[in-house]
C-alpha cells in the first residue's frame, strides 16, 4: 500500500493536485516513527499543541515515540509528569478547556484506569455540560495490546470499555501511514480522542509515509482489500493477521474483503453494511476477550441493520475470556492467522 489508504468512495476527499505541484518524497518508516513524525508536524503547525506524560520528554517515552521532541520544541511544550495517570488526565482536561491542545501519553493501557474518572466525568461531558461554550480538544495516546512479552498490566485490549463512553472518540491505527494521518486528525479534533497504538505493530514493518501534514478522515472504516466472498472486519494489531489470512484464502480462490474499522466510536456502519451486502458473509476479528467485546457491537449492528443480507451467521475470532497472561503465555491467548482462516472456512460451509 502507498502512503494514503483507500476508504469508501463516498468518504474520499478530492485533492486539487495543482495546488501542490511538487509532491514530497515518501520515506519508509515504522509506526512508532510515523507517530513521532505526526507529533512533530502538529507541534510545528500549531503552537497550542503541547505534550505531557511519564518519561516522554527527557527519555523520549518508554517506546521512544516522542524521542527528540523536547530538544526540538522545549520543555514548556514537551513535559515530563509524575507517575500519576489521574494527574495527567486532569491537567489535560484543564489545558483543553483553556485553549491548549494537549496530547497526553499513558504508558500502557493497564495504567489508564486511574484516568477514567476525568475522561468519563469531565472530558467526554464538557461540551454538553457547558452547552457548547467549552470543548475539550485533547488526545490521550495509549499503547495497548499484547505480543511483546510484557509483564502483567501491560498488554490489555480494553477498547470496548472506552468506546462505550458517549463523547469520547476512540481511534486506533494499524499501519504507519494510518498512524500518521489519523493522529494528525485526532489532534485537530475539537473533542477528546483516545488514540490507541497497538504496540506490537510499532516496529513490525515499514511503509512509505509522506510528511505532508495531511490528516486522514476520522469516523470512517478503511477498505484495505476488495473481495466478493466474505468480509473480514478488524482493527489495530489484528489487521496484520487478518491480511495474512486473506492472502492464504486468496491462494484457494476465496476472495476476502478486509475492513479496518479504525474509528471505533463513532462507528461507520455504512462501509460495513455495504461490504456485507456484497459478500453476504462476515468474520469479526479482535484481540480482546469475546464477552462484551467490540466485535459483539459490530455483530449486533449487522444483525439489526443487515440481517437479511447475510447468507451465514456472523462469526467472531477473539482472545479468551481471561486476563491477558504475560510473557510466553501470550501466544496461547492471542488469535492468529490460522484461527481466522478456520473461522472463514467454517462460515463459508454454513452458507444457505
Cell of 140: 490521550
Please tell me which residue in 118, 149, 153, 154 is annotated as part of the active site: 154
Answer yes or no: 154 catalytic: yes
Rounded to whole angstroms, the Cα distance separating 193 from 137 reads 8
CA–CA gap between residue 179 and residue 197 (Å, rounded): 8
Q: Strands 78-80, 49-53: parallel, antiparallel or unpaired by DSSP?
A: parallel
Query: Cβ(284)–Cβ(310) under 8 Å?
Result: no
Q: In whole angstroms, what is the distance from residue 181 CA to residue 209 CA?
A: 9
| Distant-in-sequence, close-in-space partners of 293: CB < 8 Å, separation ≥ 6 | 160, 286, 316, 318
Runs of H (alpha helix) within the chain = 31-45, 69-73, 85-97, 116-118, 126-129, 159-163, 176-188, 238-250, 269-279, 294-306, 330-333, 337-349
Is the separation of the CB atoms in 209 and 247 below 8 Å? no
Residues that are catalytic: 154
Amino acid at each position: 500500500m502507498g502512503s494514503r489508504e483507500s476508504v469508501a468512495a463516498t468518504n474520499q476527499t478530492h485533492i486539487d493536485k495543482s495546488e501542490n505541484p511538487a509532491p514530497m518524497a515518501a520515506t519508509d518508516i515504522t509506526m512508532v516513527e510515523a507517530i513521532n513524525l505526526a507529533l512533530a508536524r502538529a507541534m510545528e503547525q500549531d503552537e497550542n499543541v503541547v505534550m505531557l506524560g511519564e518519561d516522554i520528554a527527557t527519555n523520549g517515552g518508554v517506546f521512544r515515540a516522542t524521542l527528540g521532541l523536547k530538544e526540538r520544541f522545549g520543555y514548556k511544550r514537551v513535559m515530563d509528569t509524575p507517575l500519576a495517570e489521574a494527574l495527567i488526565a486532569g491537567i489535560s482536561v484543564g489545558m483543553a478547556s483553556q485553549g491548549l491542545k494537549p496530547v497526553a501519553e499513558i504508558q500502557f493501557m493497564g495504567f489508564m484506569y486511574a484516568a477514567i474518572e476525568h475522561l468519563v466525568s469531565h472530558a467526554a461531558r464538557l461540551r454538553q455540560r457547558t452547552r457548547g461554550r467549552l470543548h475539550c480538544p485533547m488526545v490521550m495516546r495509549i499503547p495497548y495490546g499484547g505480543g511483546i512479552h510484557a509483564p502483567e498490566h501491560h498488554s490489555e485490549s480494553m477498547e470496548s470499555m472506552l468506546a462505550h463512553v458517549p463523547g469520547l472518540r476512540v481511534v486506533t491505527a494499524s499501519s504507519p501511514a494510518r498512524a500518521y494521518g489519523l493522529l494528525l486528525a485526532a489532534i485537530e479534533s475539537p473533542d477528546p480522542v483516545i488514540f490507541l497504538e497497538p504496540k506490537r505493530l510499532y516496529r513490525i514493518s515499514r511503509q512509505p509515509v509522506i510528511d505532508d501534514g495531511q490528516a486522514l478522515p476520522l469516523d470512517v472504516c478503511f477498505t484495505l482489500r476488495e473481495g466478493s466472498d466474505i468480509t473480514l472486519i478488524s482493527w489495530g494489531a489484528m489487521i496484520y493477521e487478518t491480511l495474512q489470512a486473506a492472502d492464504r484464502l486468496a491462494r484457494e480462490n476465496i476472495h476476502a474483503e478486509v475492513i479496518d474499522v479504525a474509528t471505533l466510536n463513532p462507528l461507520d456502519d455504512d462501509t460495513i453494511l455495504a461490504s456485507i451486502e456484497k459478500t453476504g458473509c462476515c468474520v469479526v476479528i479482535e484481540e480482546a476477550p469475546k464477552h462484551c467485546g467490540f466485535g459483539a457491537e459490530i455483530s449486533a449492528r449487522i444483525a439489526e441493520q443487515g440481517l437479511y443480507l447475510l447468507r451465514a451467521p456472523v462469526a467472531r475470532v477473539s482472545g479468551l475470556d481471561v486476563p491477558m497472561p504475560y510473557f510466553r503465555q501470550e501466544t496461547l491467548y492471542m488469535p492468529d492467522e490460522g484461527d481466522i482462516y478456520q473461522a472463514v472456512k467454517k462460515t463459508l460451509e454454513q452458507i444457505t
